[in-house]
A and B are shown apart, each in its own frame.
Chain A
């Protein structure tokens, strides 16, 4: 019998396919273990001990949050509780959230739990994007807590958390554009929880997404 070239052998390709798939799957699983460890939500103790976490403790809502260029990493990073001379978070400067800056770990967790449930229950992701994923009918909410629009509304409401909460409870009443957000029946408690979630989310380290957030407006008309 004539010798069949390996390149036209079904058996060879079947084995190759099995090996390639197996190796890829094993690599993905190993990488997933590492990613899960790095993405675990931090604790209040981490914040106290100034440990940088990709996803900080929900008690981050007690702190002032900013988003600044890190020279070391070459892109913007969340700055929690003030920035030191090296462009890193100081975890010191607090900021009142609905009148308090001493939410316990448990209180903060309960709050963002309700916030996340509300975000899912109201289908926010089918108009907005979170961490850039979702629908494209409304603005990205990754850093919504830091959006300059809320700074301009904050004084009239006694703080931006109050302004956002008021907006969420009756969006058409505060509509700023022809394309309005509908009234989704968000209650006062749910609104507070959603705002907590937005503040918490703005402290997630997204590797510099979105770029130049709130920094530029055209070439000459800078925000800050």
Chain B
């Protein structure tokens, strides 16, 4: 047993978590600026335009999720494999290289913003492809860092315990990393450009990331509830079968209107309609385990982590599953594609599927760092989870109302023209939805402030029982 001491891998995980939480703040800040611009278009016009705010908003989200995902792997890896992470020195070096690269990319986004229509812009300023705008030099750097990360994971598991959770993660991470390569080329053919772009975007968030979440969720269940490993891992394999079985070909729902053959209508509709099924499964599984352990008289070891995990399963099902299904069939998507619909879906889906569980994973780490047997939800933590969850949920509803209006007015009444677009944007119901989005956004930011307060307080807590642990061990 390693007792209360942290592995070097876990110390590295804490560094990743720290940067992740800072970038989470940046995501919310730039989201706020973009939300204000929807209502007051002159706000920061010509200084920080919507395109820049929106790009930083989403890039910060993607990068902080990846940071927290890498962090969670470094956290559970030594614990599961029962040994120190192999090659941790390289892992640490990669962390600093990656963080420096992220800082440079963001500074260029903010201060250089756009470039001339030349290859050099793609290499050094922005690739201008939504979500993966990072310039090509950064792409190559990311690949190098990820290779080090994969080396850490594989070398550690090969020479340590190979659990089911680690087996799933090993397969999943290599797919996740490999898929990034699909987004690293340039073509004049925008249809083919978007075809491969979706390989990165969809096969990340609707396949490999979901499987990642199922694996880490299983680990959190074992840690917070002492859930039975055999049951957790069996369930994990079922989840993998369902998620990849629906998610890989579910990619077809992005191939309805981009110059692709018509057969993607049927393939995309069928498989993406199945995508919510494993998400219901996760939700049921977590609540079932909770009930079972409570029946035995067992208590939750870490209430904040478990609460965030519960929010994850519910939010994942509702945001990714229900809100995704609402506009996934081509008959509906013909009218909703390119409106606020995906924005409504995206907010709840990313929060539900990824943000919530990663916050839970961070709480799990903070508990061990502080050397606490049990971690109870603090008042600040309770307000944080409530404000953030309710805020994002209401934000989604607000965006959905705007989306309905936009679909009916712009697409239904005007047939998608420039004039139709602005008629919908000026519609009072659309505008009301945007007002509520701003208000709920402020709720989320208040929740984030409390969350940071709660986490920093925990992180500063010196391991109270370190002395006792060492005497007990001796």
Contacts and interface: CB of A to CB of B under 8 A. Distances in A.
B418 A35 contact: no
Interface in A173-213: 176-180, 182-187, 190, 193-194, 201, 204-213
Given A8-B234, A212-B416, A123 B52 contact: yes
Interface string A1-31: 0000000111001101100110011011001
Given A132-B258, A137-B50, A116 B414 contact: no
Given A34-B261, A121-B126, A130-B190, A21 B417 contact: no
Interface in B113-146: 113-119, 121-122, 125-130, 133
B419 A55 contact: no
B130 A126 contact: yes
A70 B306 CA distance: 55
Nearest to A119: B128
Nearest to A109: B188
A90 interface: no
Interface stretch (A44-52, A97-105, A215-223): A215-223
A118 interface: yes
Nearest to A19: B241
Interface in B30-48: 34, 37-38, 41-42, 45-46
B116 A121 contact: yes
A118 B260 CA distance: 24
Given A24-B249, A127-B51, A211-B335, A216 B413 contact: yes
Contacts of B422: 139, 176-177, 179
B199 to A, nearest CB: 9
B164 A54 contact: no
A149 B414 CA distance: 13
B3 interface: no
B107 interface: no
Place the interface of chain A in its size category. 35 or more
A124 B128 contact: yes
Given A8-B234, A34-B261, A206-B257, A127 B189 contact: no
Contact of A21 (B125, B238, B248, B260): B248
Interface in B237-258: 237-238, 240-241, 244-245, 248-249, 251, 254-258
Contacts of B50: 126-127, 135, 137
A41 interface: yes
Nearest to A16: B241
Nearest to A14: B237
Interface residues of B, number: 86
**Residue of A120, A183, A193 contacting most chain B CB atoms (<10 Å):** A120
Interface stretch (A81-89, A140-148, A155-163): A140-148
Interface stretch (B289-297, B337-345, B386-394, B463-471): B337-345
Contacts of B2: none
A21 B343 contact: no
Given A123-B52, A207-B257, A209-B256, A20 B114 contact: no
A14 B194 CA distance: 33
A135 B346 CA distance: 12
Contact of B418 (A36, A114, A116, A149): A149
Given A16-B241, A55-B189, A205 B259 contact: yes
Nearest to A201: B190
Contacts of A131: 190-191, 194, 257-259
A68 interface: no
B121 A121 contact: yes
A173 B277 CA distance: 51
A113 interface: yes
Contact of B244 (A24, A31, A55): A24
Contacts of B167: 14
Interface string B211-255: 000000000000000000010011001101100110011010011
A38 B261 contact: yes
A71 interface: no
A126 B52 contact: yes
Given A16-B237, A144-B418, A129 B338 contact: yes
Those 9 A-B pairs whose CB atoms lie nearest each other, nearest first? A118-B117, A120-B128, A209-B257, A212-B415, A132-B338, A13-B237, A210-B416, A126-B51, A24-B248
10 contacts: A10-B237, A35-B195, A38-B261, A39-B260, A120-B126, A126-B128, A131-B258, A139-B417, A183-B46, A217-B415
Given A24-B244, A127-B51, A182-B46, 17 more contacts: A39-B192, A40-B189, A55-B259, A117-B117, A117-B118, A120-B122, A121-B125, A126-B55, A131-B257, A133-B254, A137-B34, A140-B338, A177-B422, A204-B191, A208-B257, A211-B415, A215-B415
Interface of A: 8-10, 13-14, 16-17, 20-21, 24-25, 27-28, 31-32, 34-36, 38-41, 54-55, 58, 109, 112-127, 129-140, 142-144, 147-149, 176-180, 182-187, 190, 193-194, 201, 204-218, 223
Interface of B: 34, 37-38, 41-42, 45-46, 49-52, 54-55, 113-119, 121-122, 125-130, 133, 164, 167, 186, 188-192, 194-195, 197, 230, 233-234, 237-238, 240-241, 244-245, 248-249, 251, 254-265, 267, 334-335, 337-340, 342-343, 406, 411, 413-422, 425
